[in-house]
Structure 1
Amino acid sequence: MGTSRLFRIFLVLGSAFMILLIIIYWDDVGASHLYLHTPVSPGPKTPHTPPQHHPQTSRTPSFLSDIDAFVNQFLEPGTGDPTDPAPADTTNQSERAEERYVPRREWKIHLTPVAAELRERQEQRRKLLQEMCANDGVAFPGKNRSFDDIPNKELDHLIVDDRHGIIYCYVPKVACSNWKRIMIVLSESLLQDGVPYRDPLAIPRDLVHNSSMHFTFNKFWKRYGKFSRHLMKVKLKKYTKFLFVRDPFVRLISAYRNKFELRNEDFYRRFAQVMLRRYANQPTPPASVDEAFAVGLHPSFSHFIQYLLDPQTEKDMPFNEHWRQVYRLCHPCQIQYDFVGHLESVEEDAEHLLRQLRVDNVVEFPTSHRNLTASSWEADWFSTVPLEARRELYKLYEPDFRLFGYDRPDSLLNE
């Protein structure tokens, strides 16, 4: 009698453990892919071949390998052919929303191929990244560390869309607002009256940069605990990864214009007051940005460059994301990006990328030329910056120049 009761107890505990395990790893990894409309890695349809079993050394399967197998069955890429059956829609909208929500047709037959020069452009950019990361002559902090060595807090710019198998590393001042809008539309993470947004520009601006709208790598640990890194690696392997970059010096000009030439209370208190005290002979700068602007006071571009070059700056805190180097935001030597877009060719690159992701009939990239900073303005902006400071600044951002194929600005550095 005692043995039978003990057996039933073990059976109940074992069943409870398996149910708990399924619930933990079903969330966002399993169930979400039952309604994955768009394939992760489109390619030619190939006949299914049974897995081949190779001799292995006697080793007990690890728990992580079991988790890997469980996750892979939901992350297996589709073929991308229009004839593939679309999985059932299992979105958990309210009954009222379901009555008005018409599932979007996400298959699209392209009658003409992507232009050869666009494919070649991407091949060259990916190849350059690989070469620079393998080149011992290109050195910068963190270059040779492994993905596991990257602190969790430095993975906060990697946005994941599990619905379409996409990972986007956003770089501030490189059209990131519009790309974040697109990620919200694709992931359907924001609803209006129970229906997902379809127009990126209709998303309220204050929500675009709201962290709750985006599921980023640094949030994995809260959901998956000690298995978060393993799941990151699975998704990095299976998903399409992209980022957009721009000329590093022009990006700095854009950051300065946006954060210090316009009224921004937060940036004034956190950064502008520091610059005014250190470099503008203002020991007691105005308490608010409105007071400062009323008397025509704000840091100059030269003050901003001094701030970036000052060793005390990074001793106080890491660079703000708006002027932090791309290699520190997106870790291009640890993550093999499938697509590298440039802001200078954003319209062509955006069209190419959305087509490659097979979502170009779902969403379009919203173009905007508002407050666009032109590269031709560099000479004017840097005219007040001493030559030696320009050279030091180039050393600080040289990895971004070389990794992403931007020419050394000799006209600014050789005067």
Structure 2
Amino acid sequence: MGGDVSGRVVALLLTLPSLVCYLMLLDTDTTRYPQKHKQDPESEWSSSSASLPDTRFPLVNETPSEQDYWWDDWREVQRRRKAALRRACNHVTRGRVKSRARLITDRKYLYNLLVDDNHKAIYCYVPKVACTNWKRIMMILSGRSNATDPLTIRSHIPHEEGVLTRLSGVGRVTMLNYKLRTYTKFLLVRHPIERLVSAYRNKLVINSTSATDFKRRFGITILKKYRKGSDQHNASLSGDGVTFPEFVSYLTDREQSSYQSMNEHWSPYLELCHPCTIKYNIIGKYETLEEDAEYILRKIGAPSYLHFPPVLTSHTPSLVSSHLASLSDTLLRRLYEVYKYDFKLFQYDMENNKIAF
């Protein structure tokens, strides 16, 4: 009996150092990381994709860096943007929101969603919201280009059909559903009227190959229908000279017939990206493009060398007021009706312009 007790004591003494080391390691771990993250209150709008780096709890004797605060601020901005979107979606007319089943059945509605399987990301591109550079980045991320600098990719290439994978081209319904459910989904938006003015100037005012095509496709039609009186006979056969009021008259008439008939350069966000049906993880804005782009790239695990190109100052915001001033009150109100949900969904307004809504 005494031998058995002595044996147990010896065994306990031999295991004691290992137990002490284990407890020390456990204590160190809880000191470094006091608690786990609480579940994101917007998690029902999130996928199970990789989360941002955990910078919320610094190591012992470390002072939180400025970057840590930026991450926290960005998370809070995203939380507010998604919460505002969710609230606004509750007030969108039912007929304007396409069900998930309809999106999957009629794939044309998913045309603007681009897929990067390497990083499990889906990007809904919106023309006139830095989409050329984002498409360049998607080419690099998905392995469609060996470039390390997005600007070395010629601007027309990302827009060519077949260069990038579209969600509309995913074959099996089960795979499409899987990607929609689990991939990190993001889109970027801009003040609706600022985007519209940019599209008008880029496609119907300046002289470029792209603008020449748009003037033929839309300019001639607009001039024939909305150029009044004797000026109608002097309308350009090339589609040059469309005024902003004529363009808005065309848009508001088209809106009453079918949103789907609108060109993607001025189609509402609600129609291009379906933000009340597809639950986006990240909402970026043109006004905060540089920081949003950096955070998006780090979120999806992009290579450390890959960054969004330097953001150039846009002159379009300074032109918005003068373009709106050329519209009658009636035409301005009709224009707002076309984009009213875009305003509400993404927290934009018409203050400081001709009419307050």
TM-score (norm 1): 0.65
Q: Is the 8 A contact 1:157 1:330 kept in 2?
A: yes
Give the Å deviation of 1:412: 2.3
Cα distance in 2 between the residues matched to 1:358 and 1:250? 31
Question: The residue matched to 1:411 in structure 2 has which SS?
Answer: coil
Aligned to 2:71: 115
Aligned to 1:181: 136
Q: Is the 8 A contact 1:139 1:399 kept in 2?
A: no
Structure 1, unaligned runs of 5 or more: 1-45, 47-74, 83-109, 191-195, 290-296
Aligned to 2:116: 161
Gap change, CA 1:280 and 1:76, over 3 Å in 2: closer
Look up the equivalent residue of 2:247 and give its one-letter code: F
Aligned to 1:212: 162
Give the Å deviation of 1:300: 0.5
Aligned to 2:268: 325
In the TM superposition, what whole-angstrom CA distance separates every residue of 1:294-317 from its partner, at most 9, and x where no partner exists?
xxx410011111111114884697
Number of residues of Structure 1 aligned to a counterpart in Structure 2: 293
Give the Å deviation of 1:325: 0.2
Identity %: 36
Aligned to 1:280: 227
Cα distance in 2 between the residues matched to 1:385 and 1:215? 40
Aligned 1:24-103 pairs, distance under 5 A: none
Asked if 1:124 is matched to 2:80, the reply is: yes
Aligned to 1:388: 330
Q: Is the 8 A contact 2:255 2:262 kept in 1?
A: no
Question: The residue matched to 2:283 in structure 1 has which SS?
Answer: strand
| 1:254 alignment partner, one of 185, 195, 198 | 198
Larger radius of gyration: 2
RMSD: 2.8
Question: The residue matched to 1:391 in structure 2 has which SS?
Answer: helix
Give the Å deviation of 1:410: 6.5
TM-score (norm 2): 0.75
Q: Is the 8 A contact 1:307 1:313 kept in 2?
A: no
Q: Is the 8 A contact 2:186 2:281 kept in 1?
A: yes
Cα distance in 2 between the residues matched to 1:301 and 1:406? 21
Give the Å deviation of 1:409: 3.6
Asked if 1:146 is matched to 2:88, the reply is: no
Give the Å deviation of 1:247: 0.5
Gap change, CA 1:255 and 1:79, over 3 Å in 2: closer
Gap change, CA 1:304 and 1:251, over 3 Å in 2: same
Gap change, CA 1:381 and 1:360, over 3 Å in 2: farther
Aligned to 1:199: 149
Gap change, CA 1:147 and 1:235, over 3 Å in 2: same
Q: Could you tell which deviates more after superposition, 308-317 or 240-249?
A: 308-317
Cα distance in 2 between the residues matched to 1:316 and 1:345? 28
Q: Is the 8 A contact 2:136 2:158 kept in 1?
A: yes
Q: Is the 8 A contact 1:173 1:322 kept in 2?
A: yes
Question: The residue matched to 1:254 in structure 2 has which SS?
Answer: helix
Gap change, CA 1:314 and 1:369, over 3 Å in 2: farther
Aligned to 1:299: 242
Aligned 1:337-348 pairs, distance under 5 A: 337-348=280-291
Cα distance in 2 between the residues matched to 1:313 and 1:268? 22
Cα distance in 1 between the residues matched to 2:286 and 2:80? 16
Look up the equivalent residue of 2:138 and give its one-letter code: M
Look up the equivalent residue of 1:257 and give its one-letter code: R
In the TM superposition, what whole-angstrom CA distance separates every residue of 1:153-203 from its partner, at most 9, and x where no partner exists?
11100000001110000000001111111100111113xxxxx12210011
Q: Is the 8 A contact 1:154 1:329 kept in 2?
A: yes
Aligned to 1:172: 127
Give the Å deviation of 1:126: 1.0
Question: The residue matched to 2:176 in structure 1 has which SS?
Answer: helix
Aligned to 2:175: 231
Moved segments of 4+, more than 3 Å: 75-82, 283-289, 311-317, 408-411
Q: Is the 8 A contact 1:140 1:399 kept in 2?
A: no
Question: The residue matched to 2:115 in structure 1 has which SS?
Answer: strand
Q: Is the 8 A contact 1:188 1:197 kept in 2?
A: no
Q: Is the 8 A contact 1:382 1:412 kept in 2?
A: yes
Q: Is the 8 A contact 1:158 1:170 kept in 2?
A: yes
Q: Is the 8 A contact 1:178 1:365 kept in 2?
A: yes
Question: The residue matched to 1:212 in structure 2 has which SS?
Answer: coil
Gap change, CA 1:316 and 1:324, over 3 Å in 2: closer
